[in-house]
Structure 1
Amino acid sequence: MVKDIPTCELWSIDEARVVEAQDAINQVPIKEVSQMFKSIADLNRAKMTYALCVHEELCVCDIATLLNITIANASHHLRVLYNNGVVTYRKDGKRAFYRIFDEHIRQIMLVSIEHKKEVYPDETTNI
């Protein structure tokens, strides 16, 4: 569904608001937040993240099986999520178990899913 987005019909800049917004942007790690969202934006990584919201932790083998991908591919995706602070892991012998980094990530994923349901209630896509 494509929605028309309204734009300004008159060019007018509120310089104080622009400066205030720029100052706010400069005071937070916005680049890192952008990278985190980008890492979750990949479909397989979004599925992994959600699966780890549902289950406390999953082995790389479980994740590969769940997504019908190779262990090497699953490991690559998990490394991207790990490098961006989305997941963490623990080793148990020769197995690696991944889990959501913290409750903030879980809430971001679950709130995003709820938001999608509110904005597009009639669109259910299961891939």
Structure 2
Amino acid sequence: MNLDPAKMRTLRVLEVVEHGPGLKSLYFEQPFEAEPGQFVNVWIPGVDEKPFSISDLSGGRLELSVKAYGAFSSRLLEARPGDYLGIRGPFGHGFRLESDAVLVAGGIGLAPIRFLSHRLTARGMAHRVVI
């Protein structure tokens, strides 16, 4: 599905999973294809629009992992299944997929590395993850 990434899409929140205090994953229906390393802009009506890395894109769902950091992310963590948010993207250039990769991440930076690790595994490419 090749759609204009600049076009705002209104997507319904399908599921919200809490991983710990101030850390959740939001799941949306998958509106597009993307590569690990790309990001989307999330728009909360009447609030703002901010970029978020894609945590995963599998099973027909888009996953965004969010950590409460400021006013916008804290507000985003209030989203519930059935809510609608605006999504633009994907933007950016994805990571090159190479075997024997070492993936290093910490904190919420693990989210886009997780997507990359899943894609490398699906392609049978060797890699190590260092947290």
Q: TM-score range by the shorter chain?
A: under 0.3
Normalising by structure 1, we get a TM-score of 0.24
Which structure's residues are more often helix, by fraction? 1
RCO higher in structure (CA 8 A, sep ≥6): 2
Normalising by structure 2, we get a TM-score of 0.23
